[in-house]
Structure 1
Amino acid sequence: MKLQSLRRTALGTLAAASLVIGGAVSGHAADSPQPGAAAEPVLRDLAAAKGIYYGTAVTASKLNGTYGAVVGEQFDSITPGNEMKWESVEPTRGSYNWSGADAVVDYAEAHGQKVRGHTLVWHSQLPGWVSNGSWTADSLRTVMNDHIAAEAGRYKGRIDHWDVVNEPFNEDGTRRQSVFQTAIGDSYIADALRAARAADPTAKLYVNDYNVEGINAKSTALYNLVKSLKEQGVPIDGVGLQAHLILGQVPSTLQANIQRFADLGVDVAITELDIRMTVPPTSAQLTQQKAEYKAVTNACLAVARCEGVTVWGFTDSDSWIPDVFEGYGAATPYDENFQPKPAYYGIAEALGWSDGGTNPTGACAVTYTVQNQWNSGFTAQVTVKNTSTAAVNGWKLAWSWPAGQRVTQAWNATVTQSGTAVTAADAGYNAAIAPGATATFGFNGSWSGGNTAPTAFALNGTTCTA
């Protein structure tokens, strides 16, 4: 059940709060789309039309207000970020707290969504009585199986996929020496999968790990595990590729890796996608992030047995990245104020969305001219033309230097630079660019070894014709 009308009523016009102007997200709020503008994309509907799901990890306590409305509107699968982990549901042996997990499952059912259960057996976020216990193989196997029976049994028939075993490998492909590995040995994974099948015969059972998105030693170890489990008749239905990625480092072998797992006869899912970058992000970084979210989504779409994609939190306000990776963030498709970022539109485009041509990619054109050059410096002029049918109200133009140049002085724009990434923002008096009109600014710069012109520009996050 899609619950279309319920979702539309719950969110109203929230998704239109970031106007698409000149092919870019302006960041200005509005109560409704502007005349002639296309409707904002709904990811869950686009994904369903392509035969996959698009999901997000959630925090149960936040499933209300704007946060809850976006989750219900945009996603057709949700994963509890922490509420189903062992320390949350069984803090002491045989004593359970289901409140958070129940809230997530109840919300999903009320909004016509699938649930990815996460996770039954993991080396991390274990209660102390498990991680610090003195176990024999038999005693820990009993505890593990009892826990799986209790949790998977409670939600029998209500969970679409279970991450039964999470992160069993080290980076070099050897087995992680978790309490389960050291006490039970290699067989703990098969034991856990069998216990999960007994507890919930209809849920699809996955092994999930990170840094296994491309073809490497760790993903090959996972591949060999799945192959062995299949040969033994152990119930395993799928492989989860977490995809906690870094901007500029999406593996080139992602699609091929998905395909080789599919060729083993199992499903594949992208389970925890985020793409982190240094913060604060530049427009050029956000443009690249859009392309990379689109690329990951396309890789899934290209393989018939890729079931879907889950982002690990849809908003930067609910992302784990800043707390773990100092200096990094902005990893999700929405900003901290629940406004869609270019990445959101990249996902939508991969899923087949088009804005109807009112704001196409390339709805701006940039002319870059070096007016004067000497042995260590140069003067350049940049003209930005709005080639769309809507006015641009406030602009930032981003590019990267191909030869390490640096801006030393600018006029008619405020220019900032971080490494090779440059952003020029309007000077206030030239913030508005009417359809067909231009804005021009200039700067002095320094160079050494070469002064090659930039080849790509982005206006408010959208690629321009150069």
Structure 2
Amino acid sequence: MVRRARRAAVVFAAGAALLAGSAAYGAQALERPAAEQPGLLASTLRDAAEANGKWMGVAVADGKLGNSTYTGIAGGQFSSVTPENVMKWDTIEPSRNSFNFAGGDRLVDFAQAHDQQVYGHTLVWHNQLPNWVSNGGFSASELTSVMNNHITNVVSHFAGDVKYWDVVNEVFNEDGTLRPSVFSSTLGQSFIATAFRTAHAADPNAKLCINDYNTETANAKSNALYSLVSSLLSQGVPIDCVGFQSHLILDQVNGSAIQSNMQRFADLGLEVNVTELDIRMNTPSDSTRLQRQATQYASVVDACLAVSACGGITVWGVSDADSWVPNTFPGEGAALLYDESYQPKPAYNGVLTAFGGEPGDGGDPGDPGDPGDSGCVGTYTVTSHWNAGSVVEVRVQTSQALSGWTVTFSLPSGETVVGGWNAQLSQSGTTVTAGNASYNGTVAAGGTLSFGFQTSGGAVYSAPQLSLNGSACSGS
């Protein structure tokens, strides 16, 4: 079983010792998320969602796990991770009975290091199948054996590490008829119930879901999905949840219709989840459309919050640089919460605010205060913490215009910076130096710079003194 370190989101004001020692910290701050602590609003998506009893997830690309900017956001802002590809059939069983779990294991390791759940995707799908399955010419009994063998091996391997599974994915056409596939053509609709029963036998503790797109509101496809899950429940099939992918289009988002549709599935006794959310637009984007996108992202959050059976929301990718949209819909994109430079967009604050968090720059804890005559005011935020490290965000407001900046501070002995974003970071002994990146060195008078990083070591410590360009900053 997965051993999960309890996570705390603790806000430090630079230069102020807000913790009375690790014993007090362990007894108090770890008991509840930041948004539930008196006078403190959540500054990350994961904490704001958690304060509402929901999780906030992201689809993770295996090839990006070496990018510290990417992993800093994925690990610090989200409490659930879904593999983009490494748990799909063509990757995990490329030839019969030859299983490749390396990518999935990397994702599980990443999730455990950041106190996240794993949402497995996907066991049975008509797409991304290896040729030996799609063109194997199997009889009904042979194909059933192939499918059951795949499900059993995969689910058993990850038992205890994967909380949710998309057992079957995209089984309907737009008109509500069963989608043609090697499974439906050979086995008929019965393959769906078989897949769920097999997955349940392999890991009785995993939550088992059916997942599809264009089912967010009431239509022929979602009606067919509703009829199917009702039938599965009446047969005693172990199905726990329905995933609504929610690949949406700007100005075609109807939050009340999404809520109503989710509620009817919830009324069947099922958990309902938003599993692949993005909201695309024609590109290049502009400020007006980005603001409308933020409002429409918030309406999806509002729908989830209004339905008690909604477990959470996953966005399909960290940033616009990682999105599947431009390659699939030429001339469209800008669909996610972060832009192509991994800077938070208005949509980020739209989601954070809808969950009741405090908006800021990419999850920073809001305005650190007026720098006045002191020159700068800094905040130092530990957005997540576990026994082997932490994720930290730093924000400094300056009274003077800057054409380049360097922020320095000290970490306790044994704490090492292992990756960061929005800054060039180096460490000598306990001293960390963060210099501006190529795109964020210019800061207006009264403006704010921000960056973040991960540490290894897991120490609990008081806030360090922040200095900007050699001058000590005051705390908020």
| TM-score, normalised relative to structure 1 | 0.69
Q: Deviations over 1:257-298 (max 9, x none)?
A: 000000001000000000001111010110011001100011
1:256 to partner: Cα distance:
0.2
Q: Could you tell me whether the CA contact under 8 Å between 2:245 and 2:276 is conserved in 1?
A: yes
What is residue 329 of structure 2 aligned with on the other side? 325
Indicate the structure (1 or 2) with the bigger Cα radius of gyration.
1
Code of the aligned partner of 2:143? L
Code of the aligned partner of 1:179? V
Q: Deviations over 1:303-361 (max 9, x none)?
A: 010000000002111110111100011100001111100000000011102359977xx
- Range with bigger deviation, 151-160 or 58-67: 58-67
Q: Could you tell me whether the CA contact under 8 Å between 1:3 and 1:111 is conserved in 2?
A: no
Code of the aligned partner of 1:247? L
Q: Could you tell me whether the CA contact under 8 Å between 1:39 and 1:355 is conserved in 2?
A: no
Please state if 1:240 is matched with 2:243: yes
Please state if 1:299 is matched with 2:307: no
Equivalent position SS for 2:160: coil
Equivalent position SS for 2:51: helix
1:6 to partner: Cα distance:
9.7
**1:166-185 to 2 correspondence within 5 Å?**
166-185=169-188
What is residue 190 of structure 1 aligned with on the other side? 193
| Alpha carbons of structure 1 residues 174 and 7: separation in structure 2 relative to 1, 3 Å | farther
| Alpha carbons of structure 1 residues 124 and 8: separation in structure 2 relative to 1, 3 Å | farther
Structure 1: 5+ residue stretches without partners: 13-37, 360-388, 394-430, 436-466
Equivalent position SS for 1:206: strand
Code of the aligned partner of 1:345? N
Q: Deviations over 1:43-98 (max 9, x none)?
A: 11111110000000001221241111111100000000000000000000011111
Q: Take 2:283 and 2:11, find their aligned partners in 1: how far apart are those partners?
A: 33
Q: Take 1:90 and 1:433, find their aligned partners in 2: how far apart are those partners?
A: 56
Deviating runs (4+, > 4 A) in structure 1? 1-9, 355-359, 431-435
What is residue 264 of structure 2 aligned with on the other side? 260
Q: Take 2:63 and 2:10, find their aligned partners in 1: how far apart are those partners?
A: 19
What is residue 121 of structure 1 aligned with on the other side? 124
Q: Could you tell me whether the CA contact under 8 Å between 1:7 and 1:111 is conserved in 2?
A: no
**1:454-465 to 2 correspondence within 5 Å?**
none
- Counterpart selection for 1:162 from 165, 170, 178: 165
**1:216-365 to 2 correspondence within 5 Å?**
216-251=219-254, 252-355=256-359
Equivalent position SS for 2:141: helix
Q: Could you tell me whether the CA contact under 8 Å between 1:57 and 1:312 is conserved in 2?
A: yes
Equivalent position SS for 1:292: helix
Equivalent position SS for 1:298: helix
- Counterpart selection for 1:45 from 47, 61, 65: 47
Identical counterparts, % of pairs: 53
Q: Take 1:52 and 1:269, find their aligned partners in 2: how far apart are those partners?
A: 10
Equivalent position SS for 1:172: coil
Q: Take 1:330 and 1:212, find their aligned partners in 2: how far apart are those partners?
A: 22
Code of the aligned partner of 1:143? V
What is residue 143 of structure 2 aligned with on the other side? 140
What is residue 209 of structure 1 aligned with on the other side? 212
Equivalent position SS for 2:198: helix
Q: Take 1:81 and 1:158, find their aligned partners in 2: how far apart are those partners?
A: 17
1:214 to partner: Cα distance:
0.5
Equivalent position SS for 1:70: helix
Q: Take 2:278 and 2:222, find their aligned partners in 1: how far apart are those partners?
A: 19
Q: Take 1:133 and 1:354, find their aligned partners in 2: how far apart are those partners?
A: 54
Q: Could you tell me whether the CA contact under 8 Å between 2:42 and 2:357 is conserved in 1?
A: no
Q: Take 2:446 and 2:118, find their aligned partners in 1: how far apart are those partners?
A: 46
- Range with bigger deviation, 80-89 or 314-323: 314-323
Q: Could you tell me whether the CA contact under 8 Å between 1:170 and 1:218 is conserved in 2?
A: yes
Residue-pair matches, total: 342
Q: Take 2:169 and 2:11, find their aligned partners in 1: how far apart are those partners?
A: 35
Equivalent position SS for 2:57: strand
Q: Could you tell me whether the CA contact under 8 Å between 1:136 and 1:183 is conserved in 2?
A: yes
| Alpha carbons of structure 1 residues 190 and 342: separation in structure 2 relative to 1, 3 Å | same
What is residue 428 of structure 1 aligned with on the other side? none
Q: Take 2:319 and 2:5, find their aligned partners in 1: how far apart are those partners?
A: 23
Please state if 1:149 is matched with 2:152: yes
- Larger RCO (CA within 8 A; separation ≥ 6): 2
Q: Take 1:355 and 1:192, find their aligned partners in 2: how far apart are those partners?
A: 43
Q: Take 2:308 and 2:101, find their aligned partners in 1: how far apart are those partners?
A: 35
- Counterpart selection for 1:104 from 107, 124, 135: 107
| Alpha carbons of structure 1 residues 132 and 245: separation in structure 2 relative to 1, 3 Å | same
Equivalent position SS for 1:50: coil
Q: Could you tell me whether the CA contact under 8 Å between 2:276 and 2:314 is conserved in 1?
A: yes
Q: Take 2:210 and 2:7, find their aligned partners in 1: how far apart are those partners?
A: 33
1:157 to partner: Cα distance:
1.2
What is residue 64 of structure 2 aligned with on the other side? 62
Q: Take 1:87 and 1:433, find their aligned partners in 2: how far apart are those partners?
A: 53
Structure 2: 5+ residue stretches without partners: 15-39, 368-396, 402-442, 448-476
Code of the aligned partner of 1:124? N
Q: Take 2:366 and 2:113, find their aligned partners in 1: how far apart are those partners?
A: 35
Q: Take 1:342 and 1:48, find their aligned partners in 2: how far apart are those partners?
A: 21
Q: Take 2:148 and 2:91, find their aligned partners in 1: how far apart are those partners?
A: 17
| Alpha carbons of structure 1 residues 206 and 39: separation in structure 2 relative to 1, 3 Å | closer
Q: Could you tell me whether the CA contact under 8 Å between 1:7 and 1:72 is conserved in 2?
A: no
Q: Take 1:314 and 1:7, find their aligned partners in 2: how far apart are those partners?
A: 23
1:41 to partner: Cα distance:
2.2
Q: Take 2:10 and 2:180, find their aligned partners in 1: how far apart are those partners?
A: 45
